[in-house]
Structures are given as structure tokens and as C-alpha cells.
Amino acid sequence: MGGAFVAAAILARLGGRIGLPTIPLFILAGILLGPNTPGFVLLEDPHDLEMLSALGLVLLLFYLGLEFHMDDLKTGGKKMVIAGCTYLVLNVGAGLAFGFALGWGTSEALVLAGVLGISSSAIVTKILVDLGRIGSPETKPILGIIVVEDIFLALYLAALQPVISGSDGAGETAWQIAKAFGFLLLLAVAARWGTKIIGRLFATKDDELLVISFLGAAVLVSGIAEQFGVADAIAAFMVGLILGNTSSGERIRELVHPLRDAFAAIFFFGFGLSIAPGDLPSVIWPVLIAVLITVVMNVGAGLVTARIYGFGALPTANVSTTLVARGEFALILATMAAAAGLDDRLSPFIAGYVLILAVLAPLVAGRSHWLARVLPGGKDALAEHAEAEVPEPEPAGSGR
């Protein structure tokens, strides 16, 4: 674990000198020091960091929930659902069509629909934090789309597992979906009506007790959620949403920062450990086509979202590029596919696809103004944005 932290820190510091984002560098550290590349191997078994990686994902989504206020759901719920459903229809639909076009099989196509259709909550969150966009107007729709995605994810996983394994009938599938939906409904009720009671339970002036309390709540609820077939990510988000609206919310936001950053680094490092670069050449063309499809679908979804919210060119480009990343969910699907004995090409395909987009997403999100230039009204919007950032000259005689 110490080696993972140090390796991630060294590569991130070197990359920072030339302006590279930290996410691909953390992943690169995992690839270089993992069992799938020649040279020194820090960890033979990526599962050794599995619990720490899970904690990194939980803390990233918990922080995301802290930043998402109940007022955002009350005032923009309808727009959020429309934007999220549009994103899912375009991306999951394209993924399903691509899966059938490859001809690997129906179960494989269903897996690829999820791989291409669901963005990485962890990477999207990290991008928003690193680029300082948490407070930007277009961030609320981005977070809304992630919420809709994660709710869809809970139901999708519950339905997919019996389908690809072929071991359970329709009754078991319906039961799994009902359990997942019921648990999500319970969390939603707590977020809507239980904030005051929960706030009193967490009220304390002692920072140590507050850290232990919110960390325990986030991890415990995430673990219980998995038992009900709900992704730990959405459960952690809901806990953050609840606690962020209590009287302790602002203090929790400050206290969770170092925990979030440290364990997020381990999450992306562990992500790199699971990738085998040597398997990529056999599926490189399908991977590149899938990356192109994802970029095109995200731009299309960004344009629709912009129309719903009345955004200009630059916010539209920010939405389109930030949600490109694919990550932890795709790797979960790769594991499920391998356990179910599906096509052997799925695992290297998913690894290559995720790796390229995990590296590409932070880079293109930081240069979203390039996309904005080619969108309608983009050049004028960028000119106005540049003028707004130029500080006004100090008046003569101000003494400065």
C-alpha cells in the first residue's frame, strides 16, 4: 500500500510539471508496477488492494453527494431525468447495436451495452474536482445524469446477472430488481424526509467523532446496498446527499477532502493493476471503433442536455467531454462476463476500451474549448468568456 501511494505520487508530480492530469498517471503507475507488465512487480494480485479501491470509490461518490443539494432535485428533477434518460438511450442503445454488430453473441451484446453506455462516476467526479468545476452551472446536469445512470445501473445489474449466467428464471430476476428498487426507495425517503433526524444523530463539535461517524455511515450503507443488488457507488452518493443537507454538511465537506484524495489515488492505481496491455492488440480495432462511437454519442447527448437547460457552446462542450470516461462499472462487467464463461475477447476489449477513455477523458475535458469552437455560437462564446477572465485595470491613484 505504501509503495502504491509513493508510486502514484511520484508519477503525478512528474506529470504535473508538463500539465498532465493525475487520473491517467495513477492508472499508469498501476500498469507499470502490476503483474501484467515486465519489470518490477509491486503487487502480484490486484485483489490485495480491492478493499482500499472500493473505499476510494465510496469516498469519491460520497463527496459527490455532499455537493448535490436536495434543492437541486426539487427544482430540476424533471430536467435531470430527461437529460439522464436521453444520455442512457443514446449511449446504451449505441452499445447494444455495436455489440450485435460484432457478432459475439446476445449475452455479449448485453454486456457491451452497459460497458459503452455507463460513464465512470469516479473519474467524472475526479475530473470535476481537478478542473475546479464543482460550482459551474453545467455541473448540476452532469451530476444529475450520473444519478440517473447509477439508478439504472442498479436495476441493470440485477437483470443482467441471471440473463448471462442462464441459471435463474424470470421470477428470480424480478425479485432481484424489486430488492434493488426497494432499497433505493428507502434511501430516497431518508433523503427527502429524514434529514433533520439524521442531522441530530451526527451533530457533534468533535471532528474526530464526526469523521468516524460519516465514514462509518458511508461504508456501512454501501456494503448493505451491495447485498440488495444496488451498486455501492449510488448508496455512497445517497448518504452524501443526506449528510450534505444537515447542519454538519459544511464541516463534513472539509473533513472528507484528504480521505477522498488519498483513497481515490489507490482506486485508480488498483484500476491500472487489472489492465493487461499485452492483450490489447487482438481487439484494437473494435476498441477504437467503440471509443469513436462513445465520443460521438456523448457529443450528441451533450447537445440535447444543452437544449434542455439552455446552455451555450462552452457548457455544452464541458458536459459532452466530462462524461466520456468509462471505468469501474465496465471492469465489474468484465468480471461478470468471465465468470459466466462468455466470449474470451470481452475482457481484453473492455480493458483496452476503459484504458483509452480513462486517459482520454481528463485530457479532452480540460480542453473542452476545442470542441466549443466548432459548436454553434462557439467562437463568440469563447471570446466573451476570455474577456470576462481579463481583470479590469486598477484605477489611477489606488495606491497598488
The residue-averaged pLDDT of 188-198 equals 85
- pLDDT, residue 42, reads 87
Mean pLDDT score of the chain, rounded to an integer?
Answer: 82
- pLDDT, residue 393, reads 47
Judged against a pLDDT cut of 80, whether residue 181 lies above it is answered with no
- pLDDT, residue 23, reads 75
- pLDDT, residue 390, reads 46
Answer yes or no: are the C-beta atoms of 262 and 22 closer than 8 Å: no
Residue 67 pLDDT class (50, 70, 90 cuts): confident
- pLDDT, residue 71, reads 64
Rounded CA-CA distance 62/218 in Å is: 7
Q: Under 8 Å CB-to-CB from 190, ≥6 apart: which residues? A: 198, 238, 242
Judging by beta carbons within 10 Å of its beta carbon (0-12, 13-18, 19+), is residue 156 exposed, middle or buried?
buried
| Three cell numbers written together for 361 | 477523458
Rounded CA-CA distance 121/323 in Å is: 9
In eight-state DSSP terms, residue 49 is G
Say which amino acid occupies 153: L
Rounded CA-CA distance 391/394 in Å is: 9
Q: Quickly tell me which residue has 448508496 as its cell.
A: 235
Task: Give the DSSP H/E element, type plus range, for residue 80.
Answer: helix 70-102
Task: Give the DSSP H/E element, type plus range, for residue 110.
Answer: helix 106-117
Q: What is the pLDDT of residues 354-377, one digit of tens each?
A: 888 888 888 888 888 888 888 776
Residue 237 pLDDT class (50, 70, 90 cuts): confident
Of residues 87 and 147, more confidently modeled: 87
Of residues 400 and 207, more confidently modeled: 207
CA dihedral 88, 320, 286, 35 (to 10 degrees): -100
Half-sphere exposure of 197 (CA within 13 A, CB side): 6
| 3-class SS string, 233-262 | HHHHHHHHHHHHCCCCHHHHHHHHHHHHHH
Q: Quickly tell me which residue has 466530462 as its cell.
A: 322
In eight-state DSSP terms, residue 180 is H
Answer yes or no: are the C-beta atoms of 194 and 243 closer than 8 Å: no
Rounded CA-CA distance 268/327 in Å is: 9
Rounded CA-CA distance 189/277 in Å is: 45
List the Cα angle 4/6/10 in 5-degree steps.
120
Residue 251 pLDDT class (50, 70, 90 cuts): very high
| Three cell numbers written together for 132 | 475546479
Rounded CA-CA distance 213/23 in Å is: 29
